[in-house]
Structure 1
Amino acid sequence: MFKSRGDIVYKCTVRLLEDTEILECEFHPSYKGKYLLEHVCQQLNLTETDYFGLRYVDAGSQRHWLHMAKLILKQVKDASPILFSFRVKFYPPNPLLLKEDVTRFQIYLQLKRDLLHGRLYCTANEAAMLGALIIQIELGDYDPNIHVGNYVSEMRLLLRQTDTIEARIQELHREPVAGTPEGGGGAGGGGVQGMSTQEAERTFLKIACQLDTYGVDPHPVKDHRGNQLYLGINHSGILTFQGSRKTNHFKWSEVHKINFEGRMFIVHLNYPEKKHTVGFKCPSGAACRHVWCCAIEQMLFFTLSSSSEASVYSGGGLFSWGTKFRYVGRTEREILQRDGLLAPRDEQEESAGAGKRKANSVPATPSTPMTGDFVVAGYSSLPRSTHSAPLEAGAGVGAGAEACNGGCLLSGPAVDIALACCDPLRPVLEEPKPQLPCAAPEYSLRDSFEHSSTESGATCPAAPPPADWGRLPPALQPPPRPFSLLRAFVPSFLFVWLSLALLALLVFETDIALFKSLKHKPEFIALRRHYYAPLKEYLRRKMVELF
């Protein structure tokens, strides 16, 4: 695939999920991002390629996902050397539904990285169990003749790997699986001894995908008070974290519009009572655009029923261009249909209800059906609104974001994303999340998000969420929009000149009786002879040359 078709061939390096593994690739200037991703997936024997992507960093240290429909060279033209990282881009809500073992293994490798770098935040006991499962996968069953001393310390598993955590990991590695004869039918068991590699991998995925920060790549932002927050985007919606505490969760069913203006990332929310608009200030305009692109892609992948010609517009202002983002590739809905993971009844309901629902209905929940031996905790089992119309997006220019110190509530026009959503799926019973013992103090909740980590939802004791969970606090009320002289003057200036041009056309080119007396005035005769006629002749010549 990557043989030269001419004299110019570019070389690039692709880092895989194992840091020690890299691929050296070549590409022609005419190759698009899709070809490089397909080549990498082919080398890894991956067929479920839609969940993965290639990430790179530009000259300004801003991260980007390689766009599949754009030329590779145009996207990395300033990079030297050209370096990509192969990563999971869309974390499936239930990785156990993936068809291929090799795909699940790559998801496992990504989550293992997330755990090491602090992005997959969890309690001490969850961390110990995940660490023990990694040891079981990579070293196999505990053998006292081989596994001597503190062998866990030789492996980097966690961001904060304390002696207490390592001791607990070794203990779990030695203990038999609960329910086995060695484990005493569950009494005194609960370890990983006796698990096969596949069983340990599936258990790891089962625990990891129930954590709050599963699939979250945190983006640093500031709120309206200038406080440091981290914004996370995954299959369930948009989450905010302050330190190690989850402060808000805006579900895709609540998100009506997403846009950005300069450094402001803006989310428009629809609640049953009223609408809210909340903004977050990013470190730079490039970082804000990256957050917007990530949010749009995640939203469309997990809510669209079809990806055909899905385009979204946003951004821009009075003196700046807006941004167009075109979604390419399959959506989760299309992947599940292709793999036969949707029941025939669901498809019949979709076709029956396609003509009954409005095309501007917002997406509800991700389309993955929770079937099989595992159900993601916290998934809504309510029926979902459906329609079969393709995505529509109107270009819009947001306003009112120029005077915020941090994230602030905004009002004004913004791009309206009319999303095609999946059809109602069968309600499912939610499996309760396994409760592990309370976190040990050695692995207590962190005060900051320096390493892209956050608190897991499985704290101890488990407290029910407040009634207004996911809603904006009353203090975040839309402030009055400040008056801008520039925004008021420029439209007025343009309107006056357009009005004068229209008046000149009516006077000089029509025979309206109202303007006959004006035409014979000396001032209008001089204006026509010295300005209007030469300008008209100049434009006529240009039009003739052009056509």
Structure 2
Amino acid sequence: MKIPKVLYLGLNWTRKFRTKAYKKNHQTASFMFLAKFYPEEVAEELVQEVTQHSFFLQVKQAILSMDVYCPPEASVLLASYAVQAKFGDFDEDTYKPGMLASEDLLPQRVIDQYQMTLEMWEERIRVWYADHRGMSRDEAEMEYLKIAQDLDMYGVNYFPIMNKKETDLWLGVTALGLNIYEKENKLQPKTTFTWSEIRHISFDDKKFIIKPVDKNAPNFVFFSQKVRMNKLILD
């Protein structure tokens, strides 16, 4: 996936954040300039500092907003790299407990999972933070992304779908192919189609059809909620 940044960056519509807004008939649509396709190997593909920094901010927000699941230990380590990237080297003479209290560093799911105070979480982050002495902002952001790229939900765009039995499922679109997930489990796909295994993809109204390369294998058919969702999947 060695592609120039112009091909994997683009405008994404979002309800959560407002950066640029287009107003028409008193309605507001918000857009963000985001990576459309996640790089598989960040160290090799993110060669420009500005691209790396923008992508770091996007991935960090996805983890903190819990769009990408991150386990507790990894969350603490990622938080320490984020602190290093923002504040530079840890200084024992100037650091005081509570200095990181105003920073958004951990997913709320992680905080709620354990009976720990915010001060206790900060101390765990501080220990790792102190160990990153000498790292530049770019180096800390790259270490963050190297860990993030191994998370199960990294780089997956999820779309709600239904099968012929009207069972709710998720379709995950990745750089490697298409995954089908059960409604309550976005981590482990129940069915996977790599791009090399797919002969053709098409849709007719809300009906979406995946035709495997193996002509003896049955087509996979599912249904989306709206026609425009099928267009987004194929975009």
TM-score range, shorter chain: 0.7 to 0.9
Q: Output the amino acid matched with 2:212.
A: L
| Aligned counterpart, 1:55 | 12
CA distance in 2, matches of 1:226, 1:128: 40
| Aligned counterpart, 1:257 | 200
CA distance in 2, matches of 1:123, 1:214: 13
> Helix, strand or coil for the counterpart of 2:97?
coil
Using the size of structure 1 for normalisation, the TM-score is: 0.36
* Equivalent position to 1:88, from 7, 32, 35: 35
Q: Output the amino acid matched with 2:10.
A: G
How far residue 202 of structure 1 moved from its aligned partner, in angstroms, is 1.2
CA distance in 2, matches of 1:253, 1:79: 45
* Equivalent position to 1:160, from 109, 114, 132: 109
Q: Is the 8 A contact 1:223 1:280 kept in 2?
A: yes
How far residue 83 of structure 1 moved from its aligned partner, in angstroms, is 4.1
2:145 corresponds to 1:205: yes
* 1:153–1:256 distance in 2 versus 1, CA, 3 Å: farther
| Aligned counterpart, 1:108 | 56
| Aligned counterpart, 1:289 | 231
| Aligned counterpart, 1:219 | 159
* Equivalent position to 1:277, from 216, 219, 234: 219
Deviations, residues 253-311 of structure 1 (Å, cap 9, x unaligned): 1111111122222212235x942311222122222322232xxxxxxxxxxxxxxxxxx
Unaligned runs of 5+ in 2: 16-21
* 1:269–1:212 distance in 2 versus 1, CA, 3 Å: farther
Whose Rg is larger? 1
Mapping of residues 396-435 of structure 1, within 5 Å: none
Deviations, residues 451-503 of structure 1 (Å, cap 9, x unaligned): xxxxxxxxxxxxxxxxxxxxxxxxxxxxxxxxxxxxxxxxxxxxxxxxxxxxx
How far residue 170 of structure 1 moved from its aligned partner, in angstroms, is 3.6
> Helix, strand or coil for the counterpart of 2:67?
coil
* Equivalent position to 2:82, from 134, 137, 159: 134
How far residue 143 of structure 1 moved from its aligned partner, in angstroms, is 3.2
> Helix, strand or coil for the counterpart of 2:13?
strand
Q: Is the 8 A contact 1:229 1:241 kept in 2?
A: yes
Q: Output the amino acid matched with 2:9.
A: F
CA distance in 2, matches of 1:130, 1:225: 41
| Aligned counterpart, 2:211 | 268
Q: Output the amino acid matched with 2:7.
A: D
> Helix, strand or coil for the counterpart of 1:132?
helix
CA distance in 2, matches of 1:267, 1:258: 5
Deviations, residues 418-467 of structure 1 (Å, cap 9, x unaligned): xxxxxxxxxxxxxxxxxxxxxxxxxxxxxxxxxxxxxxxxxxxxxxxxxx
How far residue 211 of structure 1 moved from its aligned partner, in angstroms, is 2.1
CA distance in 2, matches of 1:79, 1:266: 37
Deviations, residues 61-81 of structure 1 (Å, cap 9, x unaligned): 9xxxxxxxxxxx9xx977845
Q: Output the amino acid matched with 1:129.
A: L
Mapping of residues 387-398 of structure 1, within 5 Å: none
Deviations, residues 96-120 of structure 1 (Å, cap 9, x unaligned): 2232111111111111121122222
Mapping of residues 14-33 of structure 1, within 5 Å: none
2:172 corresponds to 1:232: yes
Q: Output the amino acid matched with 1:251.
A: T
> Helix, strand or coil for the counterpart of 2:208?
strand
> Helix, strand or coil for the counterpart of 1:268?
strand
Greater strand content: 2
How far residue 212 of structure 1 moved from its aligned partner, in angstroms, is 2.4
> Helix, strand or coil for the counterpart of 1:105?
helix
* 1:117–1:160 distance in 2 versus 1, CA, 3 Å: same
After TM superposition, the structure 1 stretch with the greater mean CA deviation from structure 2, 261-270 or 251-260, is 261-270
CA distance in 1, matches of 2:68, 2:24: 33
CA distance in 2, matches of 1:153, 1:264: 49
Deviations, residues 12-58 of structure 1 (Å, cap 9, x unaligned): xxxxxxxxxxxxxxxxxxxxxxxxxxxxxxxxxxx83222101237x
Percent sequence identity is 26
Mapping of residues 343-358 of structure 1, within 5 Å: none
CA distance in 2, matches of 1:172, 1:135: 9
